[in-house]
Structure 1
Amino acid sequence: MKTAPAAAPAAAAPAGVEPPPAAAPRWWIWLAAWPVAAVFVLSNAATPLYTLWQHDIGFSRGTLTIVFASYIAGLIGSLLVAGVASDRVGRKPVLLPALALAAVACLVFATAFSVAALVVARLLSGIAVGAVVSAGMAAVTDVAGAARRRTAALVASSAMVLGAGLGPLLAGVLSENLPAPTATVFLVEIALLAAAFAVVLRMPVPRMVARPVARAAAAPARGAWIRLPRMPHGTGGRLLLGAAAFAPGITGTSFVLSLGPSLLSGLLGTTSRTLAGAMAFVMFLASTGVQFAVRRLRVRTILLAATASTAVSMIGLVGAVRSSSVALLVAAAVMAGAGQGMGQLGGLSLLNSAVPAGRLAEANAALNVSGYLPAGLLPVSAGYLSDAVGLTTGATTFGVVLAALAAAGGLVVLTGRRWAPEA
């Protein structure tokens, strides 16, 4: 592994601002991403287990998407405060409670015997993920230092999607090969979270990113602690471009996570939890791999590729449910993963290149709110539509709508040069 070049002497910090720390060793960038990966393992670990809970508890596909969407509700609620709090009080005071809350969610999952318990567990998971996606991904950038911000975007984004893919694969394999399938998975996840807790305790980030100063661009924004995340002046266009690609991508993967097991059951007549977990893993493996493949391209090219990949994935989804083709369904999932990965990388890269450290967590929160709102609403609508008119029609309608949204996002990116001309 090449050693990082010596950091240039830091410029004197304005009065009242804690100077940025010296760049940490390169290996710390990867280690700092572990809390992000560990919490995202939890975010999707329940996916292969839903068929078990449906059998044991008894609930419809519409109710299943409500359970899934309670995670989105918790995540968005968390994003309303976590980004601001992280920029004002520091990364660790937000990350440590989030990891503890994730462990509580694991315990609720492990002992769940009702829909209400599943909703509570998903809600707690969403709150923890919202805090980590704001503070954790900003912490990776802090550790990387100003000269390695694009590397930080790649590592943080990859950690997120790799964790999201490992969760269902781990859950599927463990639940089919070990006793107490709905408990063992989450006991293993608690151990992963404990390791992440230890990493955060040692993470070389400042106690506070910045203190209030006259240079408002570098300091955390003033105002309410609980609010819709705001962007620094002059960077809103970057958020719009990132959201245009990221929102359709993450909505596509959310659909596969929430109704993928039901689609597999309908197409294959199987409730194999390992197969459901493997499909989700392959989807997020594609999301991780494509980010490394395109990392040297211009950001605008990455965003356009993201919208195209999402649109193609939805065309494949429609073809899969119409032809009962499992191979086409898996291909659609892979393309959806690629769309999310590129949209996420492009969005984070745009923010990292222009947003000061003291506002970065809130900017990350804004990007994720823009993505997770449709990722919660559209799959829930598709779930209830599937209960009413059948899974084939419901999935087809969802695919057509999301393909159109992805195409619209591509047009926004094509015509948005004035918002980020150097992208």
Structure 2
Amino acid sequence: MSESRTAPVKAVDEQRAGADDLPAAASSASPTWWVWLAAWPVTAVFILSNAATPLYVLWQRDIGFSKGTLTVIFAFYIVGLIGSLLVCGVVSDRLGRKPVLLPALGLALAACVIFATATGVAALIVARLFTGIAVGAVVSAGMAAVTDVAGQNRKRLAALLASCAMVFGAGLGPLLAGVLSETAPAPTVTVFLVEMVLLATAVLAVLRMPVRRPTAPAKGAWIRVPGVPRGSGLHLALGIAVFAPGITATSFVLSLGPSLLSGLLGTTSRIVAGAMAFAMFLAATGVQFAVQRLRRRTILTAGAISTTLSMVTLIVAVHTSSVPVLIASALLAGAGQGMGQLGGLSLLNSTIAPQRLAEANAALNVGGYIPAGVLPVSAGYLSDAIGLTDGATVFGVVLMSLAVIGGLVVVASRRRVPEPA
């Protein structure tokens, strides 16, 4: 075997050899139910991440702002998230999962209070910023905590549950908000009171979570662009190549989906908007259970294909004013994100030792969320300028091209580097 092919294997061995420096309680084989419960804080925070989606039509009516401003509010979530990812992955690997997760849950609770009392765009921006910071913490420290609790022998289960916790929560949030805002009094208040109760249960789960603080000495800067150890760069790149277009597609549906529904269906029903988002992320959850036993690169290739088809159907939907085709586009977008996320997390879990795993998770999400913030915002302003149909078309063509490129990168990598065990 050539040196270029054995180098990644050596790097992985060195990383695993250092894993003993991190005495996570997971290594003592925690019960399986704890692996599931460890994923609950991820779900609870991601419920908040999209709970505001069906409510924006109410705030637009009461406060008054354009689709462009709406995407800016959404983008501040991305700003908070990426800023959090630059810190939380490294801090979690050095100080432990709980010192990162507990403050994040506190910020999420604060975001709920601000959302419930918001009377202007500035308040919505601050609430979204706090939400993004909390989400950045759970996608790095929270997902790594699930792997810690699962232990070495259940890494595939850990990747599956961490990924599904994220997408299921992201879908449950808008459905819960849509139903409560249509059926309960004080629609922009009740939703966040319920979410505060859910977050409180997540705090209890983190306090009891069987993980310990690391003992490995700190190396490098505390605030830095997250990365992965030598030998794992290709696996990170493959995950980003598919995950980034997938999550950008779902971000577009979340930010401008209600506007598309209003234009195509003539409805501002918050239940309909929430149900479409829930169906999208339910597809993202279900597809991961369906493909979990496939090879990781096969999962990634399928994810790229799904995102490509999602953009094709989006373009058809806006030009034919077809709601069923728009829903099909959302379902395909969810499946694309789900498979890209699962494939990326599984590759990282299989090659990176616990003391760098939260940082690696952060790196994957930085690569995904940057385009997920930039492209939908651009599409929002473009739609204000040239119309929603043409703006969505341009977005669809650009993202479809990125998804195709991502799929080709994954296919090409099969011939050069064998898949990790």
TM-score by length of 1: 0.94
CA distance in 2, matches of 1:345, 1:231: 17
Partner SS for 1:353: helix
SS of aligned partner of 1:109: helix
What is the identity, as a one-letter code, of the residue corresponding to 1:361?
Answer: A
- Once the two structures are superposed, the pairs formed by residues 354-365 of structure 1 within 5 Å of their partners are 354-365=351-362
1:346 maps to 2:351 = no
Is 1:211 aligned to 2:208, yes or no?
A: no
Q: Give the distance between the partners of 1:57 and 1:347, measured in 2 at CA.
A: 40
Contact 1:238 1:419 (8 Å CA) reproduced: no
How many angstroms does 1:370 deviate by? Answer: 0.3
Question: Does 2:412 align with 1:407?
Answer: no
Equivalent residue for 1:193, pick from 194, 199, 217: 199
CA 1:417/1:113 → structure 2, altered by over 3 Å: closer, same or farther? Answer: same
Match of 1:42 among 36, 43, 48: 48
Number of the residue aligned with 1:217: none
State the partner residue of 2:84.
Answer: 78
- Cα distance per residue 1:372-415 (max 9 Å; x no partner): 00000000000000000000000011001100100000111011
Q: Which residue of 1 aligns with 2:171?
A: 165
Q: How do 1:7-406 residues align onto structure 2 when only pairs under 5 Å count?
A: 18=23, 21-208=27-214, 210-212=215-217, 222-406=219-403
TM superposition shift of 1:321: 0.3
Shift in Å, 1:421: 1.4
Any idea what the Cα deviations from partners look like across 1:310-369, whole Å, max 9, x if unmatched? 000000000000000000000000000000000000000000000000000000000000
1:166 and 1:16 mapped to 2: Cα distance? 38
Unaligned ranges ≥5, structure 1: 1-10, 213-219
Aligned in 2, Cα 1:384/1:201: closer, same or farther, shift over 3 Å? same
**Alpha-carbon distance in structure 2 between the residues aligned to 1:370 and 1:250:** 10
Q: Distance in 2 between matches of 1:402 and 1:16?
A: 42
Structure 1: which amino acid aligns with 2:132? G
| Partners of 1:399 and 1:19 in 2: CA distance | 44
| Deviation at residue 207 of structure 1 after TM alignment | 2.1
Deviates more, 1:14-23 or 1:398-407: 14-23
Q: Distance in 2 between matches of 1:368 and 1:399?
A: 22
Q: CA RMSD of the aligned region, Å?
A: 1.4
| 1:88–1:420 distance in 2 versus 1, CA, 3 Å | farther
Q: Which residue matches 2:8? A: none
362 and 418 in structure 1: CA distance in 2 versus 1, 3 angstrom threshold: farther
State whether residues 12 and 19 of structure 1, in contact with CA within 8 Å, keep that contact through their aligned partners in structure 2.
no
CA deviation after TM superposition for structure 1 residue 256, in Å: 0.1
Contact 2:82 2:369 in 1 (8 A): yes
Deviation (angstroms), 1:233: 1.1
What letter matches 2:396 in structure 1?
A: G
CA contact (8 A) 1:320 1:329 kept: yes
Q: Count residues with an aligned counterpart.
A: 404
The letter for the 1-side match of 2:243 is F
CA contact (8 A) 1:231 1:363 kept: yes
Q: Which of 412, 416, 422 is equivalent to 2:413?
A: 416
CA offset at residue 12 of structure 1?
10
State the secondary structure of the residue aligned to 2:351. Answer: coil
C-alpha distance in 1 between matches for 2:197 and 2:417: 42
Q: Which amino acid is the alignment partner of residue 362 of structure 1? A: E
Q: Shift in Å at residue 13 of structure 1? A: 8.1
Q: 1:84 to 1:14 in 2, by over 3 A?
A: closer
1:18 touches 1:211 (CA, 8 Å); kept in 2? no
Q: Which amino acid aligns with 1:367?
A: L
Partners of 2:126 and 2:24 lie apart in 1 by 41
Amino acid in the other structure paired with 1:127: I
Distance (Å, rounded) in 1 between the aligned partners of 2:101 and 2:369: 20
Aligned-pair distance for 1:32? Answer: 0.3
Does structure 1 retain, via aligned residues, the 8 Å contact 2:22–2:355?
no
Q: 1:366 is matched by which residue type in structure 2?
A: A
Instruction: For residues 91-134 of structure 1, give each alpha carbon's deviation from its aligned partner in whole angstroms, at most 9, with x where no partner exists.
Output: 00000000010000000000011111101000000000000110
Amino acid at match of 1:312: L
Runs of at least 4 residues off by over 3 Å: 11-21
In 1, Cα distance between equivalents of 2:22 and 2:81:
30
CA contact (8 A) 1:237 1:419 kept: no
What amino acid is aligned across from residue 289 of structure 1 in structure 2? Answer: G
Whether the aligned pair in 2 keeps the contact of 1:138 and 1:364 (CA below 8 Å) is: yes
Could you report, residue by residue, the CA deviation over 1:196-229 in whole angstroms, capped at 9, with x for unpaired residues? Answer: 0000000001122x412xxxxxxx6x11111100
Give a deviation string over 1:162-221, Cα, whole Å, max 9, x none. Answer: 00000000000000101110011001000000000000000001122x412xxxxxxx6x
The 1-side partners of 2:17 and 2:220 are apart by 27
- In the alignment, is the contact (CA less than 8 A) between 1:105 and 1:122 conserved in 2? yes
Q: Report the TM-score when normalising by structure 2.
A: 0.94
Q: Which has the higher helix share?
A: 2
SS in structure 1 of the partner of residue 111 of structure 2: helix
